[in-house]
Amino acid sequence: MSKYDYDLIIIGSGPSGRSAAIQAGKLQRRVLVIDRKDRFGGVSVHTGTIPSKTLRETVLNLSGWRERSFYGRSYRVKDQIRAEDLKARLHMTLDHEVDVLEHQFNRNHVETLNGLAKFVGPHEIEVATDAGETTRLTAAKFLIATGTKTYRPDYVPFNGKTVVDGDDFLEMAEIPRSLVVIGAGVIGVEYATMFSALDVRVTLIEPRETFLDFIDTRLIHDFTHQIRENGVDLRLGSAVQKIEDAGGHVEVTLENGRHVRAEMLLFAAGRMGATSALNLQAVGLETDHRNRIDVDRKTYQTAVPHIYATGDVIGHPSLASTSLQQGRVAACHALETPTLPESPWYPYGIYSVPEISTCGMSEEELQERDIPYEVGVARFRETSRGHIMGLEHGMLKMLFSLKTRRVLGVQIVGEGATELIHIAQAVLNLKGTVDYFVQNTFNYPTLAEAYKIAGLDAFNRMPIPDEFKVRKKPAEKTEKKAGKA
């Protein structure tokens, strides 16, 4: 028997903690998951990924957004959409997610405990429950998967009603007629475009001159055009000087002298690692200025080898999808079990209106690396499926190496982008070339046919491979027929 209570203790039950716990359970190890909330799932299930995506789907369905190109901008499935309408589907989805998670824990013999954990020694933690009780537990290995919490600067007068952060936003009592969103990161862009689809007057403020800088510039230009056309007032290069809670409305003063007034303000400018309560000093761990933990990106070990960290608490890319992978890899390494490494290329999805998804390198990255490339572009309106769906916008862009003909990157903006990207991910990871898209047949009519169109667009401008070059036969020499009549 081990001298420790558990082989692995996981602090946090978000995507990475969840996948690590299930993996450890399948390896028949003694594993415990600790979460400070009374319901498991972490930020991803309760205030982040699942709620925001559920809210988006509800907004698009009730507003009739997808049908407006056929029936006009005034078309709605439900005339009066209220906050209760948005929350009804949200609560049903969250209950289902928690039920599935708890079933997975039970099926894999994962123990759970509600409480706030902190380190008191290299292999020991103390857990304080809401009932005021404390207990001490030991483990051979630990995984920190505490995620992040909202950044709440002092100059923002949060009140939970008209001035809110990303967590409070989901609890709104009624849908505002106007909304200011500060921070054009992923969260800010998603909520701003969602509520614009509800015909809420939205102003999106970003202090920097650009936004979503990790996305291909051409894609951002297309996206910016679409959201402005949909009614989002995008203010770039506009730092906030003052925010005033005026009771019935919120007044925002920008450093350039302009003012914005709205019924509600959502502050979505960054998140902080949820590590302050862990007492990391007790084990000799430090965090950066955002309270995030540095790890070895192959094993997810921290500076203390028997302590691992995964998910948003380690920073970029801060995706639920990558967190799930990180948790599995970390658990296998911690429990000394060989496993497949993570694929080098993963998809990035932004669930805005319209969606954005990318995989691989952007055009700017290729230029920085001096890689010769060709571009293939397809518009969704060029596809029959796009006509059937009434899509007026949407673009798929692919980048190919001129030297090897391999796919180097794919960027998509438009309906179904986060689903379509997985075709690109597979071809990219399998080192496929432009020829794949020319040779293969895609279901018709589908949006996936855009891959064929973009592939041919690039193929027709790329150098022709030697085996496909048409070579003229040398002219036969005419024989002299001397002496013949």
Give the pLDDT confidence of 41-73 residue by residue, as tens digits.
888 777 788 888 999 999 999 888 888 888 887
Distances (CA, A) of 366 to 214, 336, 369, 411, 436: 13, 38, 5, 14, 21
C-alpha closest to that of 410 among 464, 365, 465, 461: 365
Query: Considering only 55-59, 153-157, 275-279, 476-480, which range has the smallest mean pLDDT?
Result: 476-480
Predicted pLDDT of residue 279: 96
Q: Which amino acid is at 93?
A: T
Give me the pLDDT at residue 484, please: 52
The edge-to-edge listing of strands for the beta sheet with 356-360 is 348-350, 356-360, 407-413, 395-401, 373-379
SS3 1: coil
Average confidence (pLDDT) over 295-316: 96
pLDDT band at 485 (very low <50, low <70, confident <90, very high): very low
Average pLDDT, the chain: 92
71 residue type, one letter: Y
Confidence band (pLDDT; 50, 70, 90) for 241? Answer: very high
DSSP code for 178: E
pLDDT reported for residue 42: 83
Average pLDDT over residues 21-25: 97
For the chain, percent of residues with pLDDT exceeding 90: 77
Which H/E stretch holds residue 134? Answer: strand 134-144
pLDDT at 207 over 70: yes
Closest CA to 264 of 147, 176, 134: 176
Residue 466: is its pLDDT beyond 90?
no
